[in-house]
Each structure stands twice: as structure tokens, then as C-alpha cells.
Amino acid sequence: MNGFLCFDKLSTNGSQVQFVPDYIVTGFIATHFAFKVQVSVSLVIPNKMMCNTAMEKDNKLNIKITTEVNYLAEQSDEADNRFVFAYTITITNEGDTTVKLVSRHWVITDANQYVQEVRGQGVVGEQPVLKPSQSFEYTSGTVLATQVGTMSGSYQMVAEDGTKFDAPIPQFVLSVPRVLH
């Protein structure tokens, strides 16, 4: 089967964290964003990557998104082309108005350029409301058929005055350690 497993729930088994499949998606839809973003990317350690984005600083709607990626070797099976990645997202409201995360949109691409689109309500079963300076953090995951891939997307948000906007998530890399230089 050609597709991605997407996870939105966590299950703990002793000290090991396991992802519980939420759904399988297939297909492709291109996206674009209406807001300018500032992006900085740096490799922290071989299996983690941080990626930050912030909307224009002069905008009352200023959302910072930080992403950390981990390769889960113990849940992966290279012989079966199953590469499992966890990503932890921190969403911080750096604006001056309360906002609510309503839904998410992800575009996941593997090394074979197979593209998946994922849309859903909230994140990990929640639609967090963030007052100015508040953060929300969650961990989710995905399975690729290749050792390397990328994710990007956006969170659809609404401000307390009813203004709807997208908070873009810039592309970040999913990679088995020591595959990319």
C-alpha cells in the first residue's frame, strides 16, 4: 500500500512511547500561504532538527512554531521500508490577542517525491486557546517509506475578534541519522 500513517494519539507501554495510528491518507493538493515568514533552521544533534517561524512582528497575530524531530529506530523496520519519526511542536502566541487553533494542514513528502496531504480538526484531539505569551506543546508522528522526507503545513487559527488566519509551518526534514550530511 502506498501511503503514510499519521498519528495523533500517544500510548505508553512501560517506559516506551508508541504512536497509535489515527488514519491513513493519500493524495496531493498544493498550498500557499498569505503571510510572510521568518525561518531559521539548524541541526542540533544527528536525529533532531529545530525549525522556527514567526509571522510579521508588527502584526497583532504573531505565532511562533518550533519543531523538533526524532527518528524512532525501535519502531522502524528498514527491511520493510518503514521509517518512523516523532515530531514535537511548540506553538507560542507572541501576539497581543488571544487565539484558538482550529485545524491543521500538513504536506508530507518522501524521498521518492510521493506527496501526502493531511487535514484535521485541532491537534492531538484538542483545539488549544492561547492567550498572549502562552504556549502549547504536543508530540505526534508519521511513517515514511523512505529514509528521508519533509513536512510543512499550517495551523488554521482564529483570533478572539473573529479574524481567521493561517500560521504557516515551514518545511522541516525527517531523516534517519547519518543519511544526510
Q: What is the pLDDT of residues 63-120, one digit of tens each?
A: 999 999 999 999 999 999 999 999 999 999 999 999 999 999 999 999 999 999 999 9
Domain ranges of the chain: 4-175
What average pLDDT does the chain have?
A: 76
pTM, 2 dp: 0.70
- CA–CA separation, 120 and 104 (whole Å): 6
pLDDT of residue 133: 96
Topology classification of domain 4-175: Immunoglobulin-like (2.60.40)
